[in-house]
Chains A and B, each alone.
Chain A
């Protein structure tokens, strides 16, 4: 039974197969022609969509809601809604005001959209909870701290480490309360989703966040439940310190080499999940691409402590047949192998013209992003340029490329970019998955402008 496969994997037992956990968040709405906004606000539409996920993708485990803004909204962050993406945070109630929020603001069962989420959780539990491991996703403490504080959090990390530690501690209390609510509603696994962790150095995580994150996973464990630590972006360097928070599993996206990652997580006997590429394979690839990717992944890794899943929340318009193909490869690998015999992946060869930096009067900053509407790290990288732009607009211009656009995918490949988000200056790779400070950015622009 699928659910047991997930639970036993998270308990680090030997299993007869590899669990398949599709992260069909907003994509679930696509299956019933509901927009992302509709399923994140309407419980009936969400429930209907999740039943369709179960029917179409035969998951061993599945999330109920993939929306890291539920908590932020309750704290007063304004959200910008979209048809094909989760909402993004547009305002930060504690930006410009360095304080720890009051405990009375910690969400309860009646706050914001939580009643809707809990209701759907209970309904899904009743309907399929015996067959499928249900994941309750909560916003990780560091990402929540950044929602509250905005980009000031990065300055805080340099100038007031104790404050960051306390704020992340507070957000961890929020995470524990959310875990309580979701566990009471029947969730089997609590996933702490913290994309911004990939932006912090391991040393920063160790000094300002490790205790708090560990407390959350210990708390979940004390409730008799299982946990997962989700991260986006190139978190290779952060994996070791993430393991020291002792979740039952870690989930990574395509920026991380899963083989390399598993050598680290195996040391700690922590399960690892991932990491089918969301755009190149799931969204734009073929069924065969998806089968081949999954089979190659399974063939390259030891199977104990392994979960196969998309790298993160699947794009809204992921073709159903691609996800079905991935599911088939996990569930019936030998059949899938036969289907892709003699198949060679076709590389998209759209011709894109790169900028001629030498001929340009101004310095060119190019931002290679996943989707600034959806990816927290991408949002902060873009904002770091926008916030500083007035200081160097006479010297530089900037362009944004999104990995959801075919031409931009081709450009990313041609530029030799291997991780997102990345910022280049006049074609030189400068920052990879790291947000530059304002001063740093301005100084670099000036240096390049001097060379013109």
Chain B
């Protein structure tokens, strides 16, 4: 029997941070991870690969969207034969898990070990959730179909706002346990032990081709000037939901982690092979023009599509 747990939450809410914490906490267990990304490059997987866990990467869309659902099912079946104790699925930021039960029923008789779906843990960004949920229906369903909800980045909001968010979450899902945190610093072992599967009826996911944001990947082979890279990323972050990646700069390897206009470019202890940056646009295809225009600030012919 494999304990299957789904991790959901918008881009940059803290899912990967949570997953890293889980891998540390459950280091005595055999763990498998399925990491789902929007773009063609899986940045999150880079964070997790170094821990030597069994991993499957699903790129280029949500696992609940028709176009890669088949790949998701195959990955679940494949993981079921690996002898793991826990399987964590980190869904992409706009994944709508409302069809998860239906999906698991599809592969009931195909898995080697049974997959015991324990439930979903949803990480929400307390600072931005309310605004984003008005734009993306998937975010409502992420909360509705969860068993536990982590109200992360609580240090960025005051008590009044936090109470409003709690109230909204309760209205959407009165049964899920809520945990207030910063940097996903929660007792994850306890949360997982207490997880009880949400029995809400499965419905069709809102993940369709239309709801996929435009995603662009920039790469560079040569070392980039950090100052100009930072300037470039700060400017384009205004037009992006999320930017993440790694870069080989003149100040060493850097990890890029940008959520909205919260820009973090910090030294990365691993070695970055060149530069790979994934940009999830909040302005549609216009982001192409934004990127091209801003590359002229000294990164032209170095950083490219």
Q: Chain B interface (Cβ within 8 Å of chain A)? A: 60-61, 65-68, 208-210, 212, 214, 284-289, 291-293, 295, 304-305
Contacts and interface: CB of A to CB of B under 8 A. Distances in A.
Give the secondary structure class of B's interface: helix
Interface string A170-202: 001100100000000000000000000000000
A218 B67 contact: no
Given A166-B210, A218-B292, A103 B285 contact: no
B295 A99 contact: no
Given A104-B67, A219-B292, A211 B286 contact: yes
Give the secondary structure class of A's interface: helix
Contact of A99 (B210, B288, B304): B210
Contact of A101 (B209, B284, B285, B289): B209
Contacts of A165: 284
Contacts of B304: 222-223
Contact of B286 (A99, A100, A103, A215): A215
B288 A218 contact: yes
Contacts of B68: 104
A212 interface: yes
Contacts of A100: 208-210
A150 interface: no
A173 B291 CA distance: 15
B288 A215 contact: yes
Contacts of A101: 209
Contacts of B289: 211, 214-215, 218
Nearest to B301: A224
A122 interface: no
A113 interface: no
A169 interface: yes
A158 interface: no
A406 to B, nearest CB: 46
Given A103-B60, A103-B61, A219 B288 contact: yes
B295 to A, nearest CB: 7
A176 B293 CA distance: 17
A78 to B, nearest CB: 22
B292 A222 contact: yes
Nearest to B305: A222
Most A-side CB within 10 Å, residue of B65, B212, B286, B295: B286
Given A215-B286, A222-B304, A169 B209 contact: no
B297 to A, nearest CB: 14
A103 B293 contact: no
B51 to A, nearest CB: 31
A30 to B, nearest CB: 39
B286 to A, nearest CB: 5
Most A-side CB within 10 Å, residue of B67, B284, B304: B284
Nearest to A220: B292
Nearest to A222: B292
A11 interface: no
A32 interface: no
A100 B67 CA distance: 13
Contact of B209 (A102, A216, A221): A102
7 contacts: A99-B209, A99-B210, A102-B209, A104-B61, A172-B285, A215-B287, A218-B289
A212 B285 contact: yes
B294 to A, nearest CB: 11
B214 A169 contact: yes
Given A173-B214, A222-B295, A102 B66 contact: yes
A169 B214 CA distance: 9
B305 A223 contact: yes
